[in-house]
Structure 1
C-alpha cells in the first residue's frame, strides 16, 4: 500500500501518494525518461525531461508526493516485482528529498 500524505489547499484537502524513483533512461531524442513507482510496484508515473535541464543542476529527487490520478497501473507482473524491489533499495539508500 502506498504511503499517503495530506495537505490543505484552498480549504480543500488534497490526498497525495508518495512514489519513489525506480528507473531512469535516455532516449534518442535527448530526453531523460524517469519512472517513479508506488512501494508495492503496482502503479507508476513516467515522465520525460530534456537532458539539457539535468546538466544545469535540476536534479532528480528520490521521491515525490503526487496526485494518485497521475499514476498508471503497471501491467506486467515481472515489472511490478522489479519496481517493488527498486523502491525498497531506494528507500534504504536515500531520503525522500535527496537528489539522486
Structure 2
C-alpha cells in the first residue's frame, strides 16, 4: 500500500468451501457498492479464536478485483450493505 492510498473496508458477503480442497474455507469480502471484492482462504484446521472471521476487513485497494457480473455485483452490494447495517466491522462472524 502506498502512502497516499487509504485502505478500503470490505464486508463479508460469502463463505464457502473450496471446490478443489475440502479443508479450505473461502471468504469473499466486497465493497458496499458491490463493485470490488477480495477473497481469502483459510484452512479449517487453522481457524481458532486467534484467527476470527470478522464482519469486515480493511484491505489495500490494489488487492481488490472488479466484480464483472452485474447480478453478482448486485448480490454483493446487497449483502455487504446488510452486513454493514447489522454488524460492527470487528464483530466475529
Query: Shared fold by TM > 0.5?
Result: yes
Matched position secondary structure for 2:7: strand
Q: CA RMSD, aligned part only?
A: 1.5
Partner Cα separation in structure 1 for residue 39 and residue 62 of structure 2: 13
1:92 shift after superposition: 1.7
Matched position secondary structure for 2:46: helix
Which segments of structure 1 move beyond 6 Å, counting only runs of 4 or more?
none
Residue 86 of structure 1 pairs with residue 76 of structure 2: no
Question: Which structure 1 residue ranges, 5 or more long, are not aligned?
Answer: 1-8
Aligned residues: 89
The structure with higher relative contact order (CA 8 Å, sep 6+) is 2
Q: 2:36 aligns with which of 37, 43, 46?
A: 43
CA displacement, residues 34-74 of structure 1 (integer Å, 9 cap, x when unaligned): 000011000000121101112x2221011111110000000
1:13 shift after superposition: 4.6
Equivalent position of 1:4 in the other structure: none
Give the alignment's TM-score, normalised by structure 1: 0.82
Partner Cα separation in structure 2 for residue 22 and residue 86 of structure 1: 5
Choose 1 or 2 for highest CA Rg: 1
Report the structure, 1 or 2, having the larger strand content.
1
